[in-house]
Chain A
Amino acid sequence: MRRLFEYPHARWIFPVFGVAVVVWFVLAFRVVRSNDRMERIDDGVGADPAAVRVAPGSSYFFTWGVTANPRSRVIAMRGLPDDERYGDTYTQAHGVLQQLTDDLSVVGLTLRDVAHVRAYVVGDAENPPDFEGWDRAYSEYFGTATMPHRPARTTVGISRLFITAYRIEVEFVAVVPDGRGPFVAGSVPAREYERSGRAETNDGWRSYGRMRWPMSTGKAVAPGRALLFSAGMLAAPMNPTMPERHWMYGRVDAQAASILREGLGILREAGLGYEDVFFMRTIMFPERNVGIGRNFGIFNREYSRYLNNEDNPNKPTRTVMSAPGYTYRGQLMALEMYALYGQENAPAFDNGPLVGFGAGSAAGPAAVAVDPAAGHYWLSGVTVRDREGLSLEEEYRAAFAALETRLEQLGAGPEAVASLRVYIAGDDGTAESVALWTEVAEAYFAQLDPGPATTLMPVVALPGGARVLLECFAAVRP
């Protein structure tokens, strides 16, 4: 073979090249990996960690719920077929994760800093949610050779998103590592923020996203602030003494007004107001023959009496979706809020890291404030793995047992749970499932003070055919 290499005394390049490869490998795969404020806790089952522990006093970044084409403002485009316009779940999941990567990079974060991923996959009885497609796309972003990090994750199947062709919506909760992010003076995200000249209604957060939008695409929350998680709020009955199965909750505008009024009451009780709400999740329950858009529009009219107006210019980060929910009894929407305390008005956490406000459901208070000095745990969705032959009630009890086991691994008990989101699915009849769940949960949480802020949401389907899934956020004093 001819000599490929003409220049013998430049052979040094090969050892240099070899050393460089080694250095690159060590750096890329060993050294520059982690976010110091986060710790993964694995239980050896499945690829997702059991939980992610976030160090006390961390700064969070909450993203909005991202769908396939989040920037699209004009929804109905004439002359284009509506279905399949954005591709299948797998394709859309890629677009969504890419968008979220971009949204994170605006605040100087990467996928490595994500603590919890919440995914809503669209489906119905005929076309069950494509959980497999979502998993496939997810595993090309997380848990790869170049991005070994896997956050805690919760996946549920819902009925639809803002546009029929959207198949998936994803929210991230990310943790800002030390020395980076919007709250470090002079950093790029901080400069970017100052440049935008935004006025916030609470100095504890910084909004990102386009200025002119009625909402922001993400909120960075300052370190060391107490958070308030609300339970899922539903419209109050029009007649408080109405008999079972004769439900009257009024029309959609009345329900929206009722929920927002209730929300204000809860916030007031917690010493806050709508100026302090940084995140809002609206779950629309589908009415027959009425799109999610119309009811959401009506909700937004009521919403703008409290937020995004002259008195209160606050534009929380928002997520909207549609799940079966309580349509069966005429309730049309639910609302969850995350709010933030200032430096001075935070409650005194005398009896542990949680303080409850208001009477929500029997299973817990209407809102729970969380001590920033506690360690935070974001748990992956808990389901019952071995549910062969279990009745619905047994599965519900087993889910609690599984949650308790997992909390024990983290060195905590059920009293540490600050926010609990319960998704129930299955063919057992929504009304019956809800009644059964409520019974089980009441018994379980009766002993706790304050107990978690709980959202109970009937959904379309859950991964692996589970009939109940618990998504849990817990706080434990170090």
Chain B
Amino acid sequence: MRTNQRRILPPRLVAVGTATLVLALCAASAHGAAEAGVRIPSEATFAEYIDNLSEEYSYFTVSNLWLLVAAAMVFVMHTGFAMLESGLSRSKNTVNILYKNFFVISCGLVTYAIVGFNTMYPPETFNGILRFGGWFGIDPDKYMEVMSSRSGNNYAYWTDFIFQAMFAATAATIVSGAVAERIKLYSFMVFTILLVGIAYPVAGSWTWGGGWLERNGFVDFAGSSVVHAFGGYAALAAVLVLGPRRGKYDAKGKPRAIPGHNLSLAALGVFLLWFGWYGFNGGSVLDAHPERVGRVFVTTSLGAASGAFAAMIVCPLILKKADISMALNGVLAGLVGITASADTLNPGAAMLVGAISGALVVVAILFFDRIGVDDPVGAISVHGICGTWGTLAAGIWGEGKFLWQVVGCLAYALFAFAVGFAIFSAVKFVMGVRVTAEEEDEGLDVAEHGQQAYPEFTGGK
């Protein structure tokens, strides 16, 4: 048996990581102490609240509940991502993929609480470009206000936080798929923390936190650019720095197919993603408005379906075979594309947006494959290219102004690419990003984790 219990963590990283964690916990506990004075409503006031339920409060309660359900559905999307990524990669890297996915969702939630939420939604003043926020605590004087419909929102503050935190982790999950099978585990972790903890909330605040793009009328309903294209272009930068998997390209630079090990899992993942997307888009209404949520469900479904449809037509035309992974990516492409304008499109336009996404993704995957960008799950094409297309479509058939949609999606693409490139290069410089050739051949499961996902099938080392 190989010795893979060498050093798991570089000592430098341990020191930095520990220091960061201690600081974060100190900050959090300090805020916790400050919050001890929060006037949590007593039983009597809640009884009063229930007695006085007006129509407005009933609506608030229903909307709040819908948002919580939607948050849980977005959480399910992470299951979907995990299944999709593991299904589309080789069995020797399964443990690694699952490990990374659990890390991403955990890290996403934690960093979002520590800095992300208040950076993305600056609570008070905001110059429109950047304002770093701290712990997501509440001003005690405003407690009841932000917990009730008096805030003007149809959700409580806690609900808002958890819904947005589930979104945050999504951006990093996208990268995880693109860099699968060759990235060093701890390098990926550091990269994720910086991307999801700092870069994503800053970019998100431009559109959703009242930043400069929002002030200029840029429209991105549930995050075609804010979440998906951001993740997609960060992934592109990471893949360029990282390089392709060994054996992906032959000596002449011609791409070879490296099929995934379990397409059932991949299909399950896409089904789960499709399901979760109803929460992703439907919850983004931030309201349980019957007509709007209904419309979003319809446009989301039609986008996904016509995305798959288009991919199922275009792929056989180009590849001469009915490739299931292309069909799966067609579904996701349709979903990503429709996300920017799901609340405003007519069903017909939604189908058009989804269909163009589905066709686009097939072409984009083949294109990136051809030019030497090795993306095992097609994340760059699905999330990056189709995210941009969806954002533009919001300016064509949706309520956005086309030129500002161009400015906005360029801003996201460029920012994500530049930041992703900078962070990833820095990580590469400090700790390296790529496992050795032997480790890669052997599989990251054994090399990085000393475990196997399917020991019985591969001889159980």
A-side residues, CB < 8 A to B, are: 1-2, 4-7, 9-10, 12-13, 17, 20-21, 23-24, 27-28, 31-32, 69-74, 77, 79-81, 85, 87, 90-91, 94-95, 98, 101, 105, 108-112, 137, 140-141, 144, 146-147, 180, 187-189, 195, 212
Contacts of A140 in B (CB 8 A): 125-128
Query: Is A147 within 8 A of B404, CB to CB?
Result: no
A7 touches B414 (CB 8 A): no
Q: Contacts A7-B243, A27-B406, A140-B127 given; indicate if A188 touches B399 (C-beta within 8 A).
A: yes
- Closest 4 interchain pairs by CB? A71-B152, A6-B243, A188-B399, A146-B212
Q: Report B-chain residues with C-beta under 8 Å of the C-beta of A73.
A: 150
Q: In the docked arrangement, what's the CA distance between A80 and B38, Å? A: 11
CB < 8 Å neighbour of B217 from A10, A79, A112:
A112
Cβ-defined contact, A9 with B407, below 8 A: no
Q: Known contacts A31-B403, A195-B291; is A146 also within 8 Å of B215 by CB?
A: yes
Given contacts A13-B236, A69-B145, could you give 6 more A-B pairs where the C-beta distance is less than 8 Å?
A: A9-B371, A70-B152, A79-B39, A85-B142, A105-B217, A108-B217
Known A-B contacts A4-B241, A101-B210; A147 and B145 likewise in contact (beta carbons under 8 Å): no
Option from B141, B214, B236 in Cβ contact (under 8 Å) with A101:
B214
Sample of 19 A–B contacts (CB below 8 Å)? A6-B242, A10-B371, A10-B373, A17-B414, A24-B410, A27-B403, A27-B410, A32-B401, A71-B151, A71-B152, A72-B152, A80-B141, A91-B125, A98-B210, A109-B217, A110-B216, A141-B215, A146-B128, A147-B212
Residue B240 at the chain A interface, CB threshold 8 Å:
yes
List residues of chain A with CB within 8 A of the CB of B344. 188
Contact B129 A146 (CB under 8 A): yes
Complex: how many Å from CA A195 to CA B418?
42
Interchain CB contact (< 8 A) of A4 among B210, B410, B411, B429: B429
Chain B, range 394-412, C-beta contacts under 8 Å to A: 398-399, 401, 403-404, 406-407, 410-411
- Given A9-B371, A71-B150, A146-B216: A77 and B127 within 8 A (CB)? no
Distance in angstroms from B75 CB to nearest chain A CB is 28
- Please give, as numbers and ranges, the residues of chain B lying within 8 Å of A28 by CB-CB distance: 407, 411
Known: A10-B373, A20-B414, A77-B144. A5 touches B125 (CB 8 A): no
- Quick check: B291 and A32 within 8 Å, CB to CB? no
- Which chain B residue lies CB-closest to A191? B344
The answer to whether B150 touches A20 (Cβ under 8 A) is no
List of A residues within 8 angstroms of B243 by Cβ: 6-7
Do B410 and A23 touch across chains, with their CB atoms under 8 A apart?
yes
When chains A and B are docked, how far (Å) is the Cα of A112 from the Cα of B212?
11
CA distance A98 to B411 in the complex (A): 22
Q: Are A95 and B124 in contact (CB under 8 A)?
A: yes
In angstroms, Cα B150 to Cα A146, docked, is 32
B404-440 Cβ-contact flags toward A at 8 Å (1 or 0): 1011001101100110000001001100001000000
Interface residues of chain A: helix, strand, loop or mixed (majority): loop
A71 CA to B154 CA in the complex, in Å? 12
Given contacts A24-B414, A27-B406, contact A13 B217 (CB under 8 A): no
**B398, A81: Cβ atoms closer than 8 Å:** no
Is A4 in contact with B371, judged by CB distance below 8 angstroms? no
Q: Are A4 and B399 in contact (CB under 8 A)?
A: no
Looking across the interface, which residue of chain B has its beta carbon closest to that of A140?
B127
B109 CB → nearest A CB, Å: 26
User: What CA separation (Å) do A411 and B236 show in the bound complex?
Assistant: 56
Binding site of B, secondary structure by majority: helix, strand, loop or mixed?
helix
Cβ of B96 to closest chain A Cβ, rounded Å: 20
B124 touches A12 (CB 8 A): no
Q: Which residues on the A side are within 8 Å of B126 (C-beta)?
A: 94, 98, 140
Q: CB of B244 within 8 A of chain A?
A: yes
Neighbouring B residues of A112 by C-beta, 8 Å: 216-217
With the chains together, A189 CA to B401 CA distance in Å? 13
Q: Min CB distance, B151 to chain A, in Å?
A: 7
Chain A residues within an 8 Å CB radius of B401: 32, 180
Q: Is the CB of B425 within 8 A of A4?
A: yes
CB closest residue in chain B, given A113: B217
A297 to chain B, nearest CB (A): 20
Look across to chain B and name the residue whose beta carbon is closest to the beta carbon of A73: B150
Residues of B within 8 Å of A7, CB to CB, are 240, 243-244, 372-373
Among B124, B129, B398, B411, chain A packs the most CB atoms within 10 A around the CB of B124
Q: Does B460 contact A (CB under 8 A)?
A: no
**What CA separation (Å) do A187 and B413 show in the bound complex?**
28
Chain B min CB distance to A22 (Å): 10
B425 to A: closest C-beta gap in Å = 5
Are A32 and B407 touching (Cβ within 8 A)? yes
Q: How far is the CA of A2 from the CA of B433 in the complex (A)?
A: 12
Taking CB atoms, residues of chain B closer than 8 Å to A195 are 291
Contact of A94 among B56, B124, B129, B429 (CB under 8 A): B124
Would you call B253 an interface residue if the criterion is a C-beta within 8 Å of the partner chain's C-beta atoms? yes
Q: Which residues of A contact B236 (CB under 8 A)?
A: 13
Contact among A77, A79, A108, A147 with B128 in the assembled complex (CB-CB below 8 Å): A147
The interface residues of chain B lying within 8 Å CB-to-CB of A2 are: 428-429
Considering only CB atoms, which chain A residue lies closest to B244 in the complex? A7
Set of chain B residues within 8 Å of A27, measured between Cβ atoms = 403, 406-407, 410
A28-B407, A73-B150, A137-B125 as given contacts; A111 in contact with B215, CB under 8 Å: yes
Q: Is the CB of B127 within 8 A of A144?
A: yes
A195 to B129, CA, bound (A): 34
Chain A residues closer than 8 Å to B428, beta-carbon distance: 2, 4
